[in-house]
Amino acid sequence: MTETASDRPTAADCLCCGTQLTGLFCAACGQRAGPQRLELRTLLTHFVSAFTNFEGPLLRTSLGLLVRPHIVVGDYLRGRRIVYTNPVQWAILTSGTSALIGHVLGRVGPVQIKVDGSTPEWLRRVIEQLGSNSSPLYVLVLLPGLAVAMRIAFGRRGGTIPEHLVVVLYGYGIGALLQLVWAGAVAWFGAPPGPAGLLPMVFTAWGAVGAQPTRSKVASVLRTLLAHCLWALLLLALGLVVFGICWLLGLIG
């Protein structure tokens, strides 16, 4: 197939938004300059890059949060963003995966676990561990509250609520994944179940170290712990309000 002159872009304007092109990519919308006629090769390239563009940042975010979350958080907050998975996307993906695996293995709700007598002992232990994995989707809904608590604990110079939310979403996301791994370790190797609950907080504190370059590491960790105490009080107060409303409406005897 020979390419004629009419197939090539004649005007130096972006075919997507009309901005005048100054390079290989449009400065306004980011579309690559190219021929108007769609070719199979272009279509396939788009298809492949839709996956690689997703996988590259996802792999970098997962591994980065695992071994050096302070770098990932610091990078993201200081503007190096496109190389990482968006924190909201990351938190939904990880907590969703965690909840889905728990669900597939027979978990019905955050408390109820569907296990009958015919379930093998080893499988029952796995399901119980996954079931006790503090329902990540519920935590995700409550995380903005933690970001508010972080804002209070770190003070005015510590950053905005959205900035703290980035720290929290990355920390709780990797925490949810590691809790799954830990649940497996508990079931198969008899690891103690207790520390798993602390994983999201540990990684949030570690990320906060990267978000607070002017503070000492100890100060960032202590303020993250303080934020978790405030968060617990916030949730307790919220629970009491909901309970009070239910009581006033006569829903609780």
Least distance from Zn ion to the Cβ atom of residue 41, Å: 21
Least distance from Zn ion to the Cβ atom of residue 51, Å: 24
Residue of 26, 127, 140, 150 interacting with Zn ion (CB under 5 A): 26
Q: CA-CA distance, 98 to 149, in Å (whole number)?
A: 25
Q: CA-CA distance, 50 to 168, in Å (whole number)?
A: 27
Least distance from Zn ion to the Cβ atom of residue 13, Å: 8
Site string for Zn ion, 93-132 (x = CB under 5 A): ----------------------------------------
Residue of 28, 48, 229, 246 interacting with Zn ion (CB under 5 A): 28
Between 25 and 188, CB nearer to Zn ion: 25
Pick out residues in 30-69 that bind Zn ion (CB under 5 A).
Answer: 31
Residue of 8, 17, 83, 103 interacting with Zn ion (CB under 5 A): 17
**Among the residue ranges 23-31, 60-68, 148-156, 245-253, the one whose residues contact Zn ion (CB under 5 A):** 23-31
> Residue 185 contacts by C-beta under 8 Å, 6 or more apart in sequence?
191
Residue 27, interface with Zn ion (CB under 5 A)?
no
Between 19 and 134, CB nearer to Zn ion: 19
CA distances from 129 to 72, 138, 193 (A): 30, 17, 8
Residue of 9, 16, 66, 247 interacting with Zn ion (CB under 5 A): 16
Question: How many residues sit in the footprint of Zn ion (CB under 5 A)?
Answer: 8
**Angle 217-248/136-154 helices, nearest 10 degrees?**
120
Residue 76 dihedral angles phi and psi, to the nearest 5°: -60, -45
Least distance from Zn ion to the Cβ atom of residue 21, Å: 8
**Among the residue ranges 28-36, 38-46, 84-92, 230-238, the one whose residues contact Zn ion (CB under 5 A):** 28-36
Residue of 29, 63, 123, 233 interacting with Zn ion (CB under 5 A): 29
Least distance from Zn ion to the Cβ atom of residue 88, Å: 26
**Among the residue ranges 13-21, 41-49, 72-80, 200-208, the one whose residues contact Zn ion (CB under 5 A):** 13-21
Least distance from Zn ion to the Cβ atom of residue 244, Å: 55
Give contact residues for Zn ion (rule: CB under 5 A). Answer: 14, 16-17, 19, 26, 28-29, 31
